[in-house]
Structures are given as structure tokens and as C-alpha cells.
Amino acid sequence: MMFKALSSDFLKIRGKGIWFLIFLGPLGIIAMQALNYGLRYDYLTQRYAGRLWETLLADIQMFVPISLFLGVTLVSSLLAHIEHQTNAWKQLLALPISRNAVFFSKFAISFLLLTLSCMVLAIGVAALGLSLRFGMETMPIGSILRLSFLPFAASLPALALFLWLCMLLKNQAVPITLGVLAAIGSVFTSLISGTLSKMLPLNWPMFGYIGPRQELFVAAGFAAGCVICLMGTLHFIKKDVN
């Protein structure tokens, strides 16, 4: 049943612009850094000689949380909008398929698409560094993979929450506005010092990559994402969807 729901959803997203969005985020980040280093290559390579890869990752890391929050919001909205636009919810839920399979299918596709986006980011970072002649022998493969995937794992609560909202609300302006505010807020809340900053889920993607005990923020994000996904599923099962 779950496989049928996934197959159906993959067919629905063909030609809907979602694939373009998946590549746009990571490639946009890479393009900004390519422009930055292209304009100031001599200055940057001389000033940060010996730690070029580390500097590149530090320049990229500030944009990853923003891109993630925007990504989870837009992907969730586009997936739900396919059903809202065609008024297909009642027809879909009338089929011999459980509601929890419908919800989990949407979540699984969102997760897979954003994981692909993280893979594109990792490949793009490596390709950019090599094209800038930073050297393959000093490439920090582990750091690149952590930067690309750990913040996403820590942002799973946002994915589950925004997917839940997008599936229940026909007017996508509300979840999209919240997603944009979350993306902007992740920049300013990261400036808060102390325990409060670490307790805010908006900061978990950033702390999932930098700082001590990164695994705690990744685990917290994964656990909270599972809980919110379960809550969304239970609510979706009981609620009428127009």
C-alpha cells in the first residue's frame, strides 16, 4: 500500500517544478561562493592559505539553515498544492488506501527529495573546491558530508510540521509565510547566546554541524521530527480534508 502511494506521488510531481527547486537551493549556494571566490580569489587564497577548505565550509555553513527552512517549506507546499489545486483529496482518500499511508508517503517523498538536495550540495562543495585548486589530498570529506546532511537531520521537525500544515490548509500562504519567517529567524536566533539559543529548534540545524555535542542536536531533530510526523498523521486520519 505504501509503495503504491509513493509511486503515485512520484508520478504527480513530474513537470511540477519540484525537481528544479531541489537543485536550485544547493546550486544557488555554490554559485554564490563561486562568485565570491572568483572575484577575490587571490586575496582569499593568500589570507587563508593552509585552511582553504575549512574557510570555504565556514562561508557556506551560514546559508545552509536558511536554505533548509525554505526548502522544507516549499517542497511541502508544492506536494500538498498538487492535491489542493485539483480538489483531489476526497478522491484520493476514497481509494482503498489508508490515510496514514497517504501522509507517510508525502513525508517520505519530501525526505527523499531533500536528501537528494543534500547530496547535490556535497558534490557541489567538493567540485567547487577542486575547481578552485584547493587540492584533493586535503579535502575534508567528512566535514563536507556533515555540513550537507547533519543540518537536514536536525531540521526534520520543520519538515514534519510544515508538511502537516500544508496538507491541512488549502491556503498555502500561511505555512509559506511561517517558513519564510523561520528561515529569517534562524539567522537572528543564532546570535542569542547561552542555553536558550540551544533550546530553540530554529538553531538545531546550525548546532547539528558546529559546536560541541553535535550528535545531540541531530538526535533531537530526528526524534522531534518523528513525534511531529506521528501527531500529524493521527490528526490527518481524523480530520476531514476539503
pLDDT tens sequence across 24-73: 999 999 999 999 999 998 898 899 888 899 999 999 998 999 999 999 99
Question: Tell me: the pLDDT tens digits for 148-185?
Answer: 999 999 999 999 999 999 888 888 889 999 999 999 88
Residue that wins the pLDDT comparison between 14 and 190: 14
Q: What is the pLDDT of residue 169?
A: 83
Question: Tell me: the pLDDT tens digits for 73-94?
Answer: 999 998 888 777 766 666 666 6
Tell which residue, 151, 119, 140, 152, has the closest CA to residue 56.
140
Residue 97 has pLDDT above 90, yes or no: no
Q: Averaged over 7-13, what is the pLDDT? A: 73
Q: What is the pLDDT of residue 190?
A: 64
Q: Are 78 and 167 in contact (CB under 8 A)?
A: no
Question: Tell me: the pLDDT tens digits for 109-143?
Answer: 999 999 999 999 999 999 999 999 998 888 999 99
Q: What is the pLDDT of residue 135?
A: 85
Q: Averaged over 215-221, what is the pLDDT? A: 91
* Residue owning grid cell 508544492: 78
Residue 16: pLDDT band by 50, 70, 90 thresholds?
confident
Residue 187: pLDDT band by 50, 70, 90 thresholds?
confident
Residue that wins the pLDDT comparison between 167 and 13: 167
